[in-house]
Chains A and B, each alone.
Chain A
Amino acid sequence: MRSKTNGARSIRVDMLARVEGEGGIRIKLKGEQVQDVQLHIFEPPRLFEGFLRGRHYQEVPDIVARICGICPVAYQMSAVHALEGILGITVDPAVRLLRRLFYCAEYIESHALHVYMLHAPDFLGYPDAIAMARDHRQTVEQALRLKKAGNQLMAALGGREVHPISVAVGGFYKTPSRAELRAFVDELQWARDASIATVKTVAGFDFPDFEQDYECVALRHPNEYPLNEGRVVSSGGLDLDAAEYDEHFVEQHVKHSNALHSRLRERGSYLVGPVARFNLNFDRLPETARQAARDVGLAPPCRNPFRSIVVRAVELVFACEEALAIITEYEPPPAPMVRAAVCAGSGCAATEAPRGLLYHSYEIDERGLVLSARIVPPTAQNQKRIEDDLWHYVPQLAGLPADQITARCEQAVRNYDPCISCATHFVTVEVG
């Protein structure tokens, strides 16, 4: 923190720790009044939409998987749904279930990583998970086993743990046998029980007294907790098809970020991610997950962003329970993939990445080559919301020593589990 003689102070975090990608924060204060907040994202633009132009549609799932090492399934799922919409493909019900299982695996590995390794150290007073492991060995052992359970399921479905290679437009290149999936049952049962214990553990942390009136945005499905499908709904009354996304949401460039800021055209910042999903879909969670939430006094609407760690733990319970249910009823599809005649067209889809709503839109030509692609990742959508949280949270901290203000602000950013690397791939360069 820097102080000036006129009472103005600035809080600077040049490099945020325990987030994926490179970013920082700058906050200007005068007394207790916040004068400016900027979430700086200086990770260079990654230009994925540009890479996709001219590539065959069937290459898209493998290319977009490279956007993120933590949530590649999300990028693959939004892409295949959008492209299948263009080509008029309806996948086999067993393939649909496998995709949902694939997403569960990603939720388990991603949420286990964030809850335990990235966010818990903030609440327990450690600089990182390594230091935390010294005093909380059993907790860290549990985290490693949970993450491994997710990773192994990812590898079984995707061919490898990171950047899976099995996803195709129309299905999968290879689907697992019933026996291959049944082999995961014991470990997933352990993971579900460990997740229920996790909910209790993290609910016991101390949470700052801070609430915001968010406009939550998430998918909503008629009878499932949303992963792959659903309408885009919000606590502010939105209820729309993904095709109407652009009528209500807009992206804009701000000078201090290499990721585009998203906002609702009429109302500004909004929230995507676990808390938004939970608030809008509590009734779609399996009973085990709902009970785990009730047992710790967590009910929608959750307005305290610091309690997102509890919501993530509840979603861990959901992901394990859902995976077990899918494996129990799974019968391999007659064919791993549906093929379709190529046609020109455009389409879009949104799915629920662990960090929130992930929107993709594509246009392809009559040869199946991508003419344009657009990807709106959850962290990009949450940027403005993160800044708004800091605007309102920092005045509570004004009397604290500088190092504590800085630490609390970093913790507030980590409430969002931001994946900065995912967020930075807009295109500003015109090609051709």
Chain B
Amino acid sequence: MSPILIICCGNADRGDDGAGPLVARHLEALGIAARVGRGEAFTLMESWRGADDVVIVDAVYTGARPGTIRLWDARTAPLVPQWFRCSTHCLGVAEAVGMARHLDRLPRRLRIYGIEARRFETGAKPSAAVVKAAAKVSERLAREVALCTCVP
């Protein structure tokens, strides 16, 4: 079992928002477990309860080139809610981190991989740039998990 809890957020049927689920699929093929969720704040906080080392993967919209990969240390980096917001119906990743910080519910280590997205059409597949970025993030995570599991 992976010592890192990997939570992949997004909607596989909404274009580039499928970045997170795509990473989960890659990892699954490599035998690494990853949870898939919507990225809703309260569910996220429940998901990481009891975990020490957590990685969240989500599509982001910061204005960078599609497919750009960002890595934030969520315990220290300021997160802008709009980067993660893909729904007007719920609070997202940034709000989960903000609230957990005030409630002392942050995992000891929490990192966020953001994959820059551009298109969110219903039923669309992720763009080529996002597919490529998802593969890269999966490789990085797989390497990291392998390193962790090798250390006695």
Give me the interface of A with B, judged by CB distance under 8 Å.
Answer: 20-22, 43, 68-70, 117, 128-130, 133-134, 137, 140-141, 144, 147-148, 161-162, 420-421
Contacts and interface: CB of A to CB of B under 8 A. Distances in A.
B90 A134 contact: no
B103 A140 contact: yes
A144 B89 contact: no
Contacts of B102: 130, 133-134, 137, 140
B88 A21 contact: yes
Given A140-B99, A148-B42, 5 more contacts: A22-B88, A43-B88, A141-B103, A144-B42, A162-B38
B120 to A, nearest CB: 13
A48 B89 CA distance: 17
Nearest to B98: A130
B99 A421 contact: no
A117 B103 CA distance: 14
In which size bucket is the chain B interface? 10 to 19
Contacts of B38: 162
B95 interface: yes
A421 B103 contact: no
Tell me the dominant secondary structure on chain A's binding face.
helix
Nearest to A68: B89
B135 interface: no
Contact of A137 (B40, B87, B103): B103
Interface of B: 38, 40, 42-43, 45-46, 87-91, 95, 98-99, 102-103
B44 to A, nearest CB: 12
A21 B43 CA distance: 20
Contacts of A68: 89
B45 A144 contact: yes
Nearest to A135: B102
Q: Which 5 residue pairs spanning A and B have beta carbons closest together? A: A133-B102, A130-B98, A69-B89, A134-B102, A130-B99
19 contacts: A20-B88, A20-B89, A21-B88, A21-B89, A22-B88, A69-B89, A128-B95, A129-B99, A130-B102, A133-B98, A134-B102, A137-B102, A140-B103, A141-B103, A144-B45, A148-B42, A161-B43, A162-B40, A421-B88
Nearest to A16: B88
Contacts of B90: 69
Given A130-B95, A133-B99, A70 B42 contact: no
Contacts of B98: 130, 133
Contacts of A21: 88-89
Contacts, number: 42
Contacts of A144: 42, 45
Contacts of B87: 69
A140 B95 CA distance: 13
B99 A148 contact: no
Contacts of A141: 103
A188 to B, nearest CB: 18
Contacts of B99: 129-130, 133, 140
Nearest to B90: A69
Contact of B42 (A134, A147, A420, A421): A147
| Most chain A CB within a 10 A radius of its CB, from B40, B42, B87, B98 | B42
A130 B45 CA distance: 13
A86 B87 CA distance: 36
Contacts of A22: 88
Contacts of A147: 42
B48 to A, nearest CB: 14
Contacts of A134: 102
Contacts of A421: 88-89
A141 B42 CA distance: 11
A372 B42 CA distance: 37
A20 B91 CA distance: 10
Nearest to A128: B95
Contacts of A70: 89
B84 to A, nearest CB: 13
A110 to B, nearest CB: 12
A147 B45 CA distance: 13
A127 to B, nearest CB: 11
A115 to B, nearest CB: 14
B21 to A, nearest CB: 16
Chain A CB within 10 Å, residue with most, of B40, B46, B89, B95: B89
Contacts of B89: 20-21, 68-70, 421
A299 B102 CA distance: 36
A128 B95 CA distance: 10
A334 B87 CA distance: 41
A130 B79 CA distance: 13
B46 A148 contact: yes
B103 A133 contact: yes
A143 to B, nearest CB: 9
A421 B90 CA distance: 12
A162 B102 CA distance: 26
Most chain A CB inside 10 Å of its own CB: which residue of B87, B91, B95, B99? B99
Contacts of A117: 91
